[in-house]
Amino acid sequence: MASRAIFSFVTPKRGLTATPKLLSESPSASSFPIRHRELLSPHVQLWREKPYVVKYFDRVGFERTISGTTTDLSIPNRKRPGQTLEDGLLPVSETDRDAILDFAAENATPELYLMLALGFFTGMRLGSICDLKIQSLERAAPDPSAEGLLRLAVGPGAAPPVHTKFGVTGQVWIPEALRDELLEYAKGWRRMEREAKASPENRDLLFLTRFGNAYGRRGTDQSSAVNVEMSEFRKRGVKAELQVLRKFRFHQSRCTFGTELARLALSACADVAIVIATVSDALLHGPNSEATTFKYIRFVQALPIKQALSNSFMAAFSGIGAGARHDG
**Residues in contact with 263: Cβ distance below 8 Å, sequence separation at least 6, in sequence order:** 300, 303
Together in a domain, 184 and 59: no
Q: What is the pLDDT of residue 85?
A: 76
- Asked if residue 142 and residue 58 are part of one domain, the reply reads no
Domain closes at, from 276, 298, 316: 276
Return the pLDDT at 46. 63
Contact 4, 27 (CB under 8 A): yes
| Alpha-carbon gap, residue 261 to 144, rounded angstroms | 18
Check residue 283 and give its pLDDT.
94
Which of the listed residues 276, 293, 314 is the one where a domain comes to its end? 276
Domain membership of residue 302 (yes or no) is: no
Residue 106 and residue 52 in one domain: no
Mean pLDDT by 10 residues, the chain (328 residues): 40 43 42 58 69 77 80 61 71 95 97 98 97 98 93 96 94 96 98 97 97 92 94 96 95 94 90 89 84 84 74 68 50
pLDDT score at 262: 92
Residue 122 lies inside a defined structural domain of this protein: yes
Residues 53 and 130 in one domain: no
51 with 195, same domain? Answer: no
- Residue pair 259/296 in contact (Cβ under 8 Å)? The answer is yes
Nearest alpha carbon to residue 256 among 95, 136, 31: 95
What is the span of the domain harbouring residue 54?
Answer: 4-70
CA neighbours within 13 Å on the CB side: how many for 314?
6
Instruction: Look at residue 114 in the predicted model and tell me its pLDDT.
Output: 98
CA distance 187 to 190: 9
- Please give the helix or strand (H or E) that residue 277 lies within, else none: helix 272-283
Count CA within 13 A, CB hemisphere, residue 150: 17
How far is 115 from 225, CA to CA, in rounded Å?
12
Asked if 264 contacts 275 with a C-beta cutoff of 8 angstroms, the reply is: no
By C-alpha distance, which of 140, 143, 114, 151 is closest to 129?
Answer: 114
Query: What is the rounded CA–CA span in Å between residue 325 and residue 319?
Result: 10
Cβ neighbours of residue 27 closer than 8 Å, sequence gap 6 or more: 1, 2, 3, 4, 33
Residues 6+ apart with CB under 8 A from 165: 125, 127, 128, 221, 284
**Backbone φ, ψ for residue 157 (5° rounding):** -90, 0
Its pTM stands at 0.71
Q: Which of 199, 214, 129 is nearest to 164 (CA)?
A: 129
- Model pLDDT, residue 25: 44
Asked whether 100 and 245 are in contact (CB, 8 A), the reply is yes
What total number of domains does the chain contain? 2
My answer on whether 145 and 57 are in the same domain is no
Q: What's the pLDDT at 88?
A: 75
**Is 158 within 8 Å of 168 (Cβ atoms)?**
no
For residues 60 and 144, membership in a common domain is answered with: no
